[in-house]
Amino acid sequence: DAGVIQSPRHEVTEMGQEVTLRCKPISGHDYLFWYRQTMMRGLELLIYFNNNVPIDDSGMPEDRFSAKMPNASFSTLKIQPSEPRDSAVYFCASKAWDRGNTEAFFGQGTRLTVV
């Protein structure tokens, strides 16, 4: 397996524009996570899915953020409208369920810059 695949790797957009980040988890994994990493706040969980169903979205900062997982092999994180404070590295991760003690595998991340 190629691991967790995220696209694009880099995104530069103007304030107010819509941004869509994409993630393909590892095949067979039951969980998918979206994280955001900044210098100020470190790594924060935004939302996670189990079997394509959102389980906890308490980390989603505002209504401008939304995430979907239409099938087991694809997820999107959308920001509309984007703001400069959304600039960060966004990571997607996936893991299999094995009574909970399994490791999460991370993608390479998408570096988002909102100008």
Partner 1 sequence: KQEVTQIPAALSVPEGENLVLNCSFTDSAIYNLQWFRQDPGKGLTSLLLIQSSQREQTSGRLNASLDKSSGRSTLYIAASQPGDSATYLCAVRPQSFGNEKLTFGTGTRLTIIP
Contact residues toward partner 1 (CB under 8 A) are 4, 31, 33, 42-45, 48, 50, 55-56, 91, 93, 95, 100-109
Sign of the torsion formed by the C-alpha atoms of 49, 50, 52 and 54: negative
Q: Give the nearest distance from C-beta 67 to partner 1 in angstroms.
A: 15
Indicate the residue among 42 and 70 with the shorter CB distance to partner 1. 42
For the chain, strand residue ranges (E) read 5-7, 10-13, 19-24, 31-38, 42-50, 53-56, 65-71, 74-79, 88-95, 105-106, 110-114
Examine residue 61 and say whether the peptide bond preceding it is cis (omega within 30 degrees of 0). Answer: no
Smallest distance from partner 1 to CB 33, Å: 8
Beta pairing partners, 47:
34
Which residue carries 């996936």 as its tokens? 94
**CB-wise, 72 or 104, nearer to partner 1?**
104
Name the residue nearer to partner 1 (CB basis): 15 or 43.
43
Measured from the CB atom, is 17 or 27 closer to partner 1? 27
Instruction: Work out how close the CB of 74 gets to partner 1 at its nearest, in angstroms, rounded to a whole number.
Output: 18
